[in-house]
Structure 1
Amino acid sequence: MNHIQLENISKIYNASTAQAQVALSLLAQGMDSTEVKEQTGYSVGLYDINLAIKAGELHCIMGLSGSGKSTLIRHINRLIDPSCGKIWVDTSLHATNPRRAPATAVAEETQTTAQTGSSAIDILTLNDKALQQYRQHTVSMVFQHFGLVPHMTVIQNVAYGLRVRKMSTKARHEIARHWLNEVGLPNLEHSYPDELSGGMQQRVGLARALATDNPILLMDEAFSALDPLIRAQLQDQLLELQNRLNKTIVFITHDIDEAIKVGQRISILNGGRLVQTGTPQQLRHDPADDYVAQFMHTKS
């Protein structure tokens, strides 16, 4: 079952609807993003992306710098809106084997999750209130540079998403402690972000994303700023957590080794276009073009 589906998604930056259509027409004629930029002055973020991400899948999006990876993932929580297309998300789906937060804490939560039945909705149609509900209850994000609030303690950072839901301090801190323990930081709740190493800060960011128990987790180059040893440890921890939590994870990376290690399927972007989607084995043995083959060349 698909959890997320992008349908004909294109993004032309700093262009009106009419201007975007000019750029899209040139792309449809075969121009690449560089040529469109030279002729029109408009930057191509994405062009005609069609991608389905399965429920419970850890799906890697990769490509070189400027290929559209971060643009794509930011469409899923609508930090960026497309120039055209639709984004379908089944907001009724939850992890099938979630490690729920303590029941006593959950019982105190008064905010309820908006449900739309079993059908996917086009999130581009959501009004401001519905979009806020979607972000609070359906999708969480882990950023490359941690994104922690410096004047908040570790436990306050982890509990922030629950605070926004108006959960009581006792309840949200109970959940935050649970997830700090899960990511291996059980005794640092009163520390501040600048007192932690980069690896520890990213563990706090991961705990914060998991604390809301949202079924979709977006990870934008989440481990790329870390030393190789710490990066490998966090990759292992992510896989162990995913084995228990069964979330739908969209994981952005430019590192093919990382993509092969953590991804069940990999989508490769080039110049804003989706070149190929498949398992690591499919990409290795049947690359769509030389670009994909070059990515997979280091893995035999």
Structure 2
Amino acid sequence: MAFVISTDGGVADAARRHRIYSGEVFCLPPRDSIRAFADFAWELIIAAFGDHDPATAHDEIPVEEYVRILGPLKTGFTHHLHSKELLRDVLIDLGADPTRTYFDVPKLRAVPPASYLTAGLGYNYTPHRDTWYSSPQCQNNWWAPIVGVTSESCMAFHPDYWQQPADNTSADFDAYEWNRTSRRDAATYITSDPRPHPRLSGHGPGSEIRIVGEVGSILSFSGAQLHSTVPNTTGRARFSLDFRTVDLDDLITKAGPVNIDSVSTGTSVRDYRRADSYDQLPDEVIDLYDQGGSADGVLVFDPAVLKAP
């Protein structure tokens, strides 16, 4: 199918989900709820970098210090109660039912120039599907710019591989082993990143489409879309936020595009929390997806391991 981008912010949530499962990507125009989320993230970023301009701090401090700033900043944003509240407000504003919609905690992304940092906390994602990371086929991805997003520092889609199998290394990815070591160790990698990120093998990603949105806008797309980080070739850092959602009924019915090439093990569904109550998914729903996975791994990542003793 042709790569379809919609800017229609009035589509009902169920219709939007159906359309992204067919390969459509929504680039929703700015809304106050999304702008409030980005503004909160920016406040935390400004506070963390102190006297340094976050956009150009990489010109002033060693990369080791930059990473020491990013660690608590990213963790603080992800697990801040207000982040969860603002995420819930965005979902309600966009028409999702907070009693049936579950979200994974939001992530703050910092992408300084590629010549400075591309590993660990500043990892540049090579072309991948989120489903290669043990995510359900009905996962909805959401991505919103904060500052510094241009055509040379944004996210790219690779539509040639929508519902076309791609050789990849997802067989090496186990969600529970990832929780046990890789998520914990991200801050230790500066010059290279040996973690088992699933990636293409033996061929390139095909064509590339870059989408640049303004602050307050948000992208909505299927976790099965092949996408990547555009290495930052500008002189300014790019900051963005993203999160993932699933609809309870979609999980139960195993909705979403067909799994054509993911062989990762374990499941990420335990990470999701109900938008209104923050409750975990029901055990019987988790059981639908808990097929395999390392017996020695960790089912749910504990952010306490990131704190200094």
What band does the TM-score fall into relative to the shorter chain? Answer: under 0.3
| Bigger radius of gyration | 1
Specify which structure has the bigger relative contact order, considering alpha-carbon pairs within 8 angstroms and separated by 6 or more residues: 2
TM-score normalised according to structure 2 size: 0.26
Q: Which has the higher strand share?
A: 1
User: Normalized per residue, which structure has more helix?
Assistant: 1
